Amino acid sequence: MTKGPILAAFLFLATAALIVSGTVWPVPSAAAYAGGVSFSSSPSSPEAAANNLGVQIRARAWDKAYESLANKAQFSEQEFIHDLTGNYPSLRTDATLDKFEVFPLRADRNEAEVRMKLYWSTVVGISASTRDVRMVKDGDRWEAEWPIEKEPSVPPQVIPVNYLRWDVIYRGPGDDWGAQDVEAPHVRIIDMHPVERADGVVILGELLNEDVVPAYVSVTATLLSKSQSPIATEGSFDKISHLLLPKQVTPFFILFPDASLAEVGSVRMTPFSTLVAASADPVIEVDGEKLNPAPNASLTGQLINQSGRVVNVAHVLGTFYDKSGQVVWVADQYVDRALLPQSPVPFNIHIPEDLAKTVSSQRTVVASYSVGGTA
């Protein structure tokens, strides 16, 4: 009975000691997350300086990160922040730096170059960006020369747009039960191909809006066993362009984790479509698309917003075909920068190495979203 107060006092003292210890001698990474704390590791090497910069960016300690740069005279702190978070609302605006990696590229006594790979945590997942940073030695300290990428400024101008938009009026609650409602858009799966991968079965395909009105679409697939009993049902989620204008085609990708094609007798596909208010703009050009072979097989190119309105989020979907025109893979990438009118923004879609050899052609579509309305 008498041990209780002693234990309580011990716990109280231990907690107090840990709090004091953590405050006086904080762990550097914890201090970085907390913000406003100097770093214990002196940037006595290019990697250490790059690490410090990464930690400051992760803590969104913009002023400290900016102050640590060797070339800060070339741009303002605001331009540095905009380089990292964007001038216009985009996926990057509210993203945090999840982690970063530093790879030394070259080094000599007073100068070095490192590659910083920044993994941004966005609302749609991790978005990686790479910067090659020149490091210079100033006395006994290394400092980064940040390779600023200034967002292009669009000259003031008026861009005439023939604004085309669809709105939908559905039947009202007072209408006779036999009265017509607006017809759902007619969509058709024009290609479907199941593929076995290491992480399960993947259903790849393409969906066409064959109607004259825009459609909000999604696709659901059900794997059926050889006895026609359902094994699993999955949807395309965001691996599809949900808004299809008339005669537009989107790829879709449905993953069944841990499923095996040997157990599958057939696949039941259920396309869904409903009318949606939509705009025909913006038009986004996919320029300079290039299939890059393995290693690091990818589809690269750049997006050019041909409209006058800023596109805040662009989702690029690539459909990859073999020589016979069969869909062999579907992959996507969210572009975390806003698309300014007429300003190219690069994209890079990874292609699995084992499939890269079979890819003969590709088709790219872009789904876009603008703040303040459906794009």
Partner 1 sequence: MKRWSSLLCAVLFFASWHGVDAQESTGEFPKSIEAGHGFSVRLGGSGPATLYILGTGQVLKREVQLGDTTYFAPGSLYNAGHYLAVVVGASTNTTNEFDIEPSSSPAELSFLARPSRLPVGLHDGITGAVYLFDRYQNLVTAQTAVQFALTGPSGSVQTHQAMARDGAASIAMDSSAQQGADKFMAQADGVSSLRVIRQVPGEPCGLKMSASPSGGKLHLVTEPVRDCNGNAVPDGTIVTFTESFHDGESTVDVPLKRGVAEVQIPSHPGATISVASGVVLGNQIRWER
Count of residues touching partner 1 (by CB under 8 A): 40
Instruction: Determine phi and psi for 34, rounding to 5 degrees.
Output: -70, -25
Residues 331/316, Cβ–Cβ less than 8 Å: no
What does the alpha-carbon distance between residue 237 and residue 196 come to, in Å, rounded to a whole number? 19
| Closest distance to partner 1 from the beta carbon of 143 (Å) | 39
Owner of token pair 């579509």: 365
Q: Of the two residues 224 and 249, which places its CB atom closer to partner 1 in the complex?
A: 249
- Quick note: the x/- pattern for partner 1 over 334-363, rule CB under 8 A, is ----------------------------xx
183 binds partner 1, rule: CB under 8 A: yes
What does the alpha-carbon distance between residue 341 and residue 373 come to, in Å, rounded to a whole number? 17
What does the alpha-carbon distance between residue 203 and residue 189 come to, in Å, rounded to a whole number? 12
| Closest distance to partner 1 from the beta carbon of 277 (Å) | 12
289 binds partner 1, rule: CB under 8 A: yes
* Among the listed residues 216, 338, 188, 207, the one whose alpha carbon sits nearest the alpha carbon of residue 278: 216
| Closest distance to partner 1 from the beta carbon of 158 (Å) | 18
Q: Of the two residues 122 and 209, which places its CB atom closer to partner 1 in the complex?
A: 209
* Among the listed residues 127, 117, 133, the one whose alpha carbon sits nearest the alpha carbon of residue 349: 127
What does the alpha-carbon distance between residue 283 and residue 161 come to, in Å, rounded to a whole number? 11
| Closest distance to partner 1 from the beta carbon of 341 (Å) | 13
| Closest distance to partner 1 from the beta carbon of 305 (Å) | 11
Q: Which of 194, 205, 271, 301 binds partner 1 (CB under 8 A)?
A: 301
| Closest distance to partner 1 from the beta carbon of 145 (Å) | 32
306 binds partner 1, rule: CB under 8 A: yes
154 binds partner 1, rule: CB under 8 A: no
- Quick note: the x/- pattern for partner 1 over 159-178, rule CB under 8 A, is ---x-x-x---------xxx
**Three-state secondary structure string covering 98-164:** EEEEEEEEEECCCEEEEEEEEEEEECCEEEEEEEEEEEEEECCEEEEECCCCCCCCCCCCCCCCCCC
152 binds partner 1, rule: CB under 8 A: no
Coil, helix or strand at residue 71: coil
50 binds partner 1, rule: CB under 8 A: no
The single-letter DSSP state of residue 357 is T
Q: Is the dihedral of CA 362, 341, 91, 237 positive or negative?
A: negative
Question: Residue 243 pairs with which residues in a beta bridge?
Answer: 216
193 binds partner 1, rule: CB under 8 A: no
322 binds partner 1, rule: CB under 8 A: no
* Among the listed residues 317, 318, 319, the one whose alpha carbon sits nearest the alpha carbon of residue 191: 319
Site for partner 1 in 204-223 (CB under 8 A): 208-214
Query: Which residues in this chain contact partner 1 in the complex, by CB under 8 A?
Result: 162, 164, 166, 176-178, 180-183, 190, 208-214, 245-249, 280-281, 283-290, 301, 306, 362-366
